[in-house]
């Protein structure tokens, strides 16, 4: 007979059968206890839905306390909200002194490991992710700093390819916060600003990497280079991805000015691995490298994408670097631009290891395992939904070419929102040949372009009957999906693009099943 204490209480899931493996039963009991404790209101903790998300997370294993993890995640959000009160990410302050002072007080953690430094206009994040994956395949423990994030601020600081844990994020903040405040006070006493949002995250990343500790850090600049907060560290290898016009309000209005800022990461005696650049940009990079006695390796001259063939879910590559030719390499990313990003990454890692060839197995396994969320990412089918973070004219051109090459789509409807400081007309003009219709929307960000104003620009680029407006991203995606399948035509697709922040919001929405 079953005693009364064996029956589930109201609202409780039935207990597992007695023949369930002990470890599974223990984990299930642990999860139930966590839910009951949080729901009971006996302590001031996270909302129970936070625990639902935590329990569903792949990084929650039996040795991770889900309640503690949920509390840490809640604290991450609080810290992030606090840091957001500082000068915004795009506010470039022409000084590295504040960051240097905090790092000196911390014992110069950025000197504890070598750095591969990545700058450019487009392709930085994808290139950094490929570099990091290659290093990890060689057995090194890695740190990776990229920005902005798509869904979770912890994405910016990754150790061994995974976002820093909530607990480590909180511990890092607790370590650096008093010193950040100290330097803030010094700066304000001298009439200067507090550390900016981006500067604080750079400090946190360098500290977290030293605490891990990592063998090497792959560090992506924010917008520029010379005055970028990441530039307090000296790169062993510098990677310059494609440089074009963007962030002109802060970096300059000519390619020479922009390239000069980006090339500011070059360190004397280092090696610079550069993408093929516009002649004006190439001259700046060449002169800066020569002035600092840095070795310069350039795509198209010293290395090349020898061959590129479409494959299921990506492309097959033949890459020639200064050290070797790698054949039959699968890259699960779309577009010629990603093939060239992979070429830069392989060459940079060769250089990091002294210039010798990598083993074919390392290159094949690493590149096959690469991902780059929000970069022509397929997140839904029926209709196809693609996300791409292109947010300037050059990025849009690469996106258009990649979609036309890799996807057989009969009707593409765009969901587009851009930041107010971007060249909206040029972005929309670049998308126009690809899109049958466009739904104008905005990210939930103060920098987002006003929807009505952006729609007016879109009507000048598209025919008026091809332009729709939806203030909210969920409504915009629903409308675009309906328009993509208009008339029952097969091959319809939705493309969300124009802003990293917009793509991040769409990705979070779609992954949650919204």
d(C-alpha 165, C-alpha 168), whole Å: 5
| Per-residue model confidence as pLDDT tens digits over 307-339 | 999 999 999 999 999 999 999 999 999 999 999
**Comparing 250 with 315, which gets the higher pLDDT?**
315
% of the chain at pLDDT higher than 70: 85
Under DSSP, the state recorded for 87 is: S
Q: Is residue 511 over pLDDT 90?
A: no
Average pLDDT over residues 155-183: 98
Helix (H) or strand (E) segment spanning residue 467: strand 467-469
Q: Is residue 201 over pLDDT 80?
A: yes
Confidence of residue 85 (pLDDT cuts 50, 70, 90): very high
Contact yes or no for 379/511 (Cβ under 8 A): yes
Q: Is residue 221 over pLDDT 50?
A: yes
Average pLDDT over residues 168-176: 98
| Per-residue model confidence as pLDDT tens digits over 251-288 | 777 999 999 999 999 999 999 999 999 999 999 999 99
| Sequence-ordered list of residues with C-beta below 8 angstroms from that of 387, at least 6 positions apart, any chain | 374, 376, 377, 379, 495, 496, 497, 503, 506, 507, 510
Helix (H) or strand (E) segment spanning residue 416: strand 411-416
Q: Is residue 378 over pLDDT 70?
A: yes
User: What integer pLDDT is reported at residue 42 of this predicted model?
Assistant: 34
User: What integer pLDDT is reported at residue 7 of this predicted model?
Assistant: 42
Largest CA distance in the chain: 87
Confidence of residue 94 (pLDDT cuts 50, 70, 90): confident
User: What integer pLDDT is reported at residue 48 of this predicted model?
Assistant: 46
Confidence of residue 58 (pLDDT cuts 50, 70, 90): low
Q: Is residue 299 over pLDDT 80?
A: yes
| Per-residue model confidence as pLDDT tens digits over 432-486 | 999 999 999 999 988 899 999 999 999 999 999 999 999 999 999 999 999 998 8
**Comparing 9 with 381, which gets the higher pLDDT?**
381
């Amino acid at each position: 007979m079953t005693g009364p204490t064996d029956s589930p209480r109201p609202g409780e899931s039935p207990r597992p059968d007695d023949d369930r493996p002990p470890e599974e039963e223990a984990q299930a009991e642990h999860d139930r206890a966590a839910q009951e404790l949080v729901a009971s209101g006996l302590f001031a903790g996270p909302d129970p839905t936070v625990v639902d998300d935590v329990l569903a997370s792949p990084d929650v294993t039996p040795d991770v306390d889900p309640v503690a993890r949920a509390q840490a995640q809640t604290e991450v959000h609080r810290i992030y909200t606090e840091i957001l009160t500082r000068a915004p990410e795009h506010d470039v302050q022409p000084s590295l002194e504040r960051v240097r002072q905090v790092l000196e007080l911390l014992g110069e953690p950025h000197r504890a490991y070598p750095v591969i430094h990545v700058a450019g206009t487009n392709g930085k994040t994808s290139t950094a992710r490929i570099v990091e994956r290659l290093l990890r395949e060689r057995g090194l423990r890695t740190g990776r700093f990229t920005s902005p994030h798509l869904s979770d601020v912890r994405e910016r600081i990754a150790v061994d390819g995974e976002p820093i844990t909530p607990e480590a994020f909180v511990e890092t903040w607790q370590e650096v916060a008093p010193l950040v405040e100290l330097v803030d006070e010094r700066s304000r006493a001298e009439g200067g600003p507090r550390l900016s949002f981006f500067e604080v995250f750079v400090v946190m990343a360098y500290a977290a990497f030293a605490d891990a500790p990592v063998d090497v850090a792959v560090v992506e600049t924010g917008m520029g280079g010379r005055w970028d907060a990441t530039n307090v560290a000296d790169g062993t290898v510098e990677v310059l991805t494609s440089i074009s016009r963007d962030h002109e309000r802060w970096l300059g209005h000519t390619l020479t000015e922009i390239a000069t800022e980006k090339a500011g990461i070059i360190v004397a005696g280092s090696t610079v691995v550069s993408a093929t650049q516009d002649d004006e940009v190439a001259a700046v990079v060449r002169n800066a490298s020569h002035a600092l006695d840095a070795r310069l390796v350039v795509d198209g001259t010293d290395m090349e994408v020898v061959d590129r063939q479409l494959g299921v879910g990506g492309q097959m590559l033949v890459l020639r670097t200064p050290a070797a030719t790698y054949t039959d390499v699968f890259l699960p990313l779309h577009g010629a631009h990603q093939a060239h990003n992979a070429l830069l990454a392989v060459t940079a890692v060769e250089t990091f290891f002294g210039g010798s060839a990598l083993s074919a197995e390392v290159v094949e396994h690493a590149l096959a395992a690469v991902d780059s969320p929000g970069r022509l990412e397929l997140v839904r089918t029926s209709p196809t939904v693609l996300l791409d973070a292109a947010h300037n004219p050059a990025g849009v051109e690469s996106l258009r070419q990649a979609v036309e090459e890799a996807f057989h789509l009969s009707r593409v409807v765009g969901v587009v929102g851009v930041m107010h400081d971007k060249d909206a007309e040029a972005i929309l003009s670049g998308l126009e040949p690809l899109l049958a219709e466009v739904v104008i929307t905005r990210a939930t960000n103060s920098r987002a372009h006003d929807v009505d104003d952006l729609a007016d620009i879109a009507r000048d680029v598209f025919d008026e009957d091809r332009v729709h407006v939806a203030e909210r991203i969920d409504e915009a995606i629903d409308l675009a999906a309906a328009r993509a399948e208009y008339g029952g035509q097969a091959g319809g697709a939705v493309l969300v693009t124009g802003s990293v922040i917009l793509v991040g919001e769409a990705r979070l929405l779609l992954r949650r099943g919204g």
